[in-house]
Structure 1
């Protein structure tokens, strides 16, 4: 069966970028003839949702730094992405500032000594909420796909948990995994 769809590969999204390399979304969208951008919606220190706190190994009263973004494809909203970082790692770094990070958050984490080693993802689908409908320009009857990802160092330390809420417009979600046999 020929591959006629847009199959996203997760690897570029879970590794630090090299100097001068575009972010993974910009690069992937351009490879398919589109323009991919992000708008930073806010940065704050807050108590994460229980699922995120569990992924980061945080207690119920502990906080994390969250970077909230709106992901656009050709200027149209396609995804809400909220990335959470343990407060002890992110506080007093560019991760806690409301501005773009050169090379992206994973590059910053690697510079701080927290290089991503493994990623674990989960995908669910559910009806959209009113705030999601407004941000993603979708209708009340529309559903969303929610991809949650936790990144860990080689010692198992969780360094980032991201919740990506995507427009579920009838397209399938496909994964392609490249296996590195040199490990």
Structure 2
């Protein structure tokens, strides 16, 4: 049986914040384990001697922090989200996408973390290069691009949205414009048309999500995101893709391995 403290009537914090703090402490200490159900609103109301709305405000605060998630008809559960470890120095290695069963980087990483990985909300279309994308791809402003937008899921839960921009002169008319680009993903197809990948650059940032990103990623109001903008280059140092990703910060560990020179 979960043991929770009582409200401190001398505390300046409103009761709902004190309740949120006590539940947060129970989660941090492991008294409420990942995947475990929180006590019901009725049980919490009786334990703390407060109105049901006070308990609801406390739960909403924890949901906004990404610590718990509500499941319709079942209750509120501690989020069970061990992070996906994103090893930048290995994730685009050719060995992962080689052969008929080659996999894209996200699928490899998510499966290593024990998740069932999936992709949805896929959109593929032609567009004109904006100033920022054109600069990264070293193309004239307004050059035609093939654009792939998608959302990545881990165990059915959205953890990342990504948009890839590729020059139409490279990707146009290839399987990159198909919903399923085939084994190894779009990088395998880029190499098949003669652009062997040799290096990547990444710009990493952190911020609060936009309203549309928050909706797409199903985030609470106080959950931050990581941003990673990657540019892929071939052996001739031609920029062949820009990928703009927005990741749920709590769902990832970014790992970089590089030599000391």
Contact 2:84 2:252 in 1 (8 A): no
1:58 is paired with a residue whose SS is coil
Count of residues paired in the alignment = 174
1:59-111 deviation digits (Å, cap 9, x = unpaired) = 222221111110111110000011110111111111123x1111210100111
- Within the alignment, does 1:60 sit opposite 2:156 as a pair? no
- Within the alignment, does 1:8 sit opposite 2:86 as a pair? yes
- Partner residue, 1:36: 117
1:64 is paired with a residue whose SS is strand
In the aligned structure 1, how far is the partner of 2:84 from the partner of 2:123? 29
In the aligned structure 2, how far is the partner of 1:160 from the partner of 1:132? 22
Q: Over aligned residue pairs, what C-alpha RMSD do you find?
A: 2.2
- Partner residue, 2:126: 45
In the aligned structure 1, how far is the partner of 2:105 from the partner of 2:171? 21
* C-alpha distance 88-140 of structure 1, shift in aligned 2 (>3 A): same
2:231 is paired with a residue whose SS is strand
Larger Rg: 2
1:14 is paired with a residue whose SS is coil
Q: CA deviation at 1:11?
A: 4.2
In the aligned structure 2, how far is the partner of 1:87 from the partner of 1:60? 14
In the aligned structure 1, how far is the partner of 2:201 from the partner of 2:102? 24
Which structure has the higher relative contact order (CA within 8 Å, separation 6+)?
1
TM-score of the superposed pair, with normalisation by structure 1:
0.85
2:212 is paired with a residue whose SS is helix
Unaligned runs of 5+ in 1: none
* C-alpha distance 6-37 of structure 1, shift in aligned 2 (>3 A): closer
Contact 1:15 1:107 in 2 (8 A): no
- Within the alignment, does 1:174 sit opposite 2:237 as a pair? no
In the aligned structure 1, how far is the partner of 2:87 from the partner of 2:122? 25
TM-score of the superposed pair, with normalisation by structure 2:
0.61
- Within the alignment, does 1:24 sit opposite 2:135 as a pair? no
Q: Which has the higher helix share?
A: 2
- Partner residue, 1:102: 182
Q: CA deviation at 1:7?
A: 3.5
Q: CA deviation at 1:136?
A: 0.2
In the aligned structure 2, how far is the partner of 1:14 from the partner of 1:159? 14
In the aligned structure 1, how far is the partner of 2:88 from the partner of 2:223? 25
